[in-house]
């Protein structure tokens, strides 16, 4: 049976690397994105040209009706869902906690936490043996920020990733006997455009000397761990975390 995978936020960065690697390994992939359709269709095009199968679907995962439409589109165009990577995430300008307002907190938590919960819910409804499904796997993209706290930069973002860690632990136990494994990766400093959202595009260059391996990571290095957690090679692994952070 074909493996069908949704990767949220896969027009760019870690999500795009995950979508491409998954397609190479035989998954039919839904490339979800927010606004950047040129980048999303670029990922689909690369997969198509390599002989894989992919669709691009714009949907804001923080909005429930858009999440419902995203998964319905996958049902109709790719078939039975077997895997989800909860990857989409945002951060905002570097600020201290005493400078944060409710509007920003709500935006960060809506995208990073509510979005991951809603996508996990739709995946469980399709994959759980409790609902007649055949099982599957979920990988949540957390961050080492969950344990480092990101002081002076974005404690709100770090706290949202702490919530993703709790989601991983709790959901893994809820659905462990229903054929679904739930794990997480915690990347460190990875070269993607997310750091520009914080106002410091070259952040990885500044902080890399604090990494034991003395370098930032590449998106594909995160994708490789995600693909292992999704695969049958991780068949007895659930509620687990892989830090991909060069020892940080
Ligand atoms: P990125 O390069 O900024 O890409 C973000 C992706 O998420 C884009 O595809 C974007 O779509 C999409 N997106 C944003 N908000 C969305 C929403 N509401 N609904 C649907 N899609 C949305 O980010 P990245 O660095 O690859 O990060 C991916 C994940 O890894 C995030 O969860 C991030 O927190 C985590 N992470 C990253 C690092 C790092 O150093 N890069 C470290 C630890 C954890 P558009 O292209 O349409 O805007």
**Which residue's CA lies nearest to atom 8 of ligand 1?**
9
Q: Which residues pair with 244 in a beta bridge?
A: 187
Percentage of the chain surpassing pLDDT 90? 99
For the domain covering 4-244, report its CATH number. 3.40.50.720
Q: Which of 9, 36, 42 to mutate to test the pocket of ligand 1 (most atoms within 8 A of CB)?
A: 9
230 CA distance to ligand 1 centroid (A)? 19
Does the pLDDT value for residue 206 go beyond 80? yes
Tokens of 55: 């669709």
pLDDT of residue 1: 65
Please state the separation of Cα 190 from the chain's center in Å.
14
pLDDT of residue 212: 98
Q: Ligand 1: does its nearest atom lie under 6 Å from the Cβ of 222?
A: no
Give the number of other Cβ atoms within 10 Å of residue 108's Cβ: 21
Q: What is the mean pLDDT of residues 79-101?
A: 98
9 CA distance to ligand 1 centroid (A)? 6
Q: Is 157 assigned a catalytic role?
A: yes
Q: What is the mean pLDDT of residues 147-153?
A: 97
pLDDT in tens, 57-66: 999 999 999 9
Q: What is the mean pLDDT of residues 147-171?
A: 98
Q: Ligand 1: does its nearest atom lie under 6 Å from the Cβ of 192?
A: yes
Write phi, then psi, for 176 (nearest 5 degrees).
-60, -35
- The Cα–Cα gap between 182 and 110 comes to 21
**Which residue's CA lies nearest to atom 6 of ligand 1?**
9
Break the chain into its structural domains and give their ranges: 4-244
- In sequence order, the 6+-apart residues with CB closer than 8 A to the CB of 61 are 8, 9, 32, 67, 70, 88, 111, 115, 116, 118, 119
């Amino acid at each position: 049976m074909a493996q069908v995978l949704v990767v949220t936020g896969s027009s760019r960065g870690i999500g795009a690397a995950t979508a491409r690697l998954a397609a190479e390994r035989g998954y039919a992939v839904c490339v979800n994105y927010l606004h950047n359709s040129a980048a999303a269709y670029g990922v689909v095009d690369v997969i198509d040209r390599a002989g894989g199968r992919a669709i691009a679907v714009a949907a804001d995962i923080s909005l429930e009706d858009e999440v419902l439409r995203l998964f319905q589109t996958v049902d109709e165009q790719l078939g039975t869902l077997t895997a989800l990577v909860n990857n989409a995430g945002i951060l905002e300008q570097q600020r201290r906690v005493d400078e944060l307002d409710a509007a920003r907190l709500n935006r960060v938590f809506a995208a990073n936490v509510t979005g991951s919960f809603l996508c996990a819910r739709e995946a469980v409804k399709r994959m759980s043996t409790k609902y007649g499904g055949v099982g599957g796997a979920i990988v949540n993209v957390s961050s080492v920020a969950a344990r480092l706290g990101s002081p002076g930069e974005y404690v709100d973002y770090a706290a949202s990733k702490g919530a993703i860690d709790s989601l991983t632990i709790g959901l893994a136990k809820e659905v462990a006997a229903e054929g679904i494994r739930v794990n997480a990766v915690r990347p460190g400093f990875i070269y993607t455009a997310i750091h520009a959202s914080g106002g410091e595009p070259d952040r990885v260059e500044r902080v890399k000397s604090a990494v034991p391996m003395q370098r930032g990571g590449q998106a594909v290095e995160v994708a490789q761990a995600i693909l292992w957690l999704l695969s049958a090679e991780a068949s007895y692994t659930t509620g687990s975390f892989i830090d991909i952070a060069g020892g940080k």
